[in-house]
Amino acid sequence: MVGVGAHPVEWSLAGGIRVRSTGCAQGDLAGAGPAVEARRAAVVNLPWTLLTQVHGARVVIVDEPGAASGEPADAAVTTVRGAALAVLTADCAPVALASPQGILGVVHAGWRGLRAGVVEAAVTAMRRLGATRVEAVVGPCVHPCCYSFGQEDLDSVARRLGPQVRAVDRQGRPALDLPAGVRAALHSAGATFLGEAGICTGCSEWHWSARAAGDTRRQATVVWRP
């Protein structure tokens, strides 16, 4: 991992696959129009696939660069070189997936998607395309310090993913450990967790957070094979 603060967080993964997670310094990457298109191109200058994120478990297969944009889904996978798969996040976890075969994926994982099994579904979709080992990194997302959570919802996530998702926030209230939930889902899918940005979007002055600051602006995590 390189880059904190104003710089994107970047990883190089198996199969020559690259990952870049932006923050405020790269601008708001949500919305449409020439200005946002230019900001996206400055991050990764390839056709982006951006889904209509719905907190579900549907995975789309991208068969050419830029395909499947706008599809209602929370994960995308591809075998295609030059296809930039991206998710937009404020607090949800962006998960990048890679395999030595060059097959890659991206997942938008909030608590509802995690509970629905979106991470496991994406790993399964990659295996169907020929991925053997699947490795994963997790970009900036909200951490338990900033993620107080209702007891009932916390119970439902813990039933699905295990007790390690239970945490407390800065005030000692019940909180969801979203990164722990992603790690549990990756483990259950048989994927290898390599690391995470280690950035709480609620705490970081360099990242947008809907929960901590009511932001409607979004950072992006982009996965691609050059």
Which tokens go with 16? 């020559």
The CB-of-89 to Zn ion minimum distance in angstroms stands at: 15
- Do residues 40 and 221 touch, judged by C-beta distance below 8 A? no
Of residues 4 and 203, the one with the C-beta less far from Zn ion:
203
Angle between helix 178-189 and helix 118-128 axes, rounded to 10 deg: 30
Applying CB under 5 A, which of residues 17, 104, 200, 223 lies at the interface with Zn ion? 200
Cα-based distances in Å from 114 to 74, 85, 121: 10, 19, 10
Please choose, out of 84-92, 123-131, 195-203, 213-221, the segment that lies near Zn ion by the rule CB under 5 A: 195-203
Q: Does 146 bind Zn ion (CB under 5 A)?
A: yes
Cα-based distances in Å from 83 to 10, 99, 138, 226: 17, 15, 20, 8
Of residues 208 and 224, the one with the C-beta less far from Zn ion:
208
The CB-of-145 to Zn ion minimum distance in angstroms stands at: 3
Of residues 67 and 213, the one with the C-beta less far from Zn ion:
213
Please choose, out of 56-64, 69-77, 111-119, 194-202, the segment that lies near Zn ion by the rule CB under 5 A: 194-202
Applying CB under 5 A, which of residues 1, 145, 158, 168 lies at the interface with Zn ion? 145
Report helix, strand or coil for 16.
helix
Number of residues that bind Zn ion (CB under 5 A): 6
Q: Does 203 bind Zn ion (CB under 5 A)?
A: yes
Q: Is 146 left (phi over 0), alpha (psi -120 to 50) or beta?
A: alpha
Of residues 143 and 218, the one with the C-beta less far from Zn ion:
143
Report helix, strand or coil for 205.
coil
By the criterion CB under 5 A, which residues form the site for Zn ion? 143, 145-146, 200, 202-203
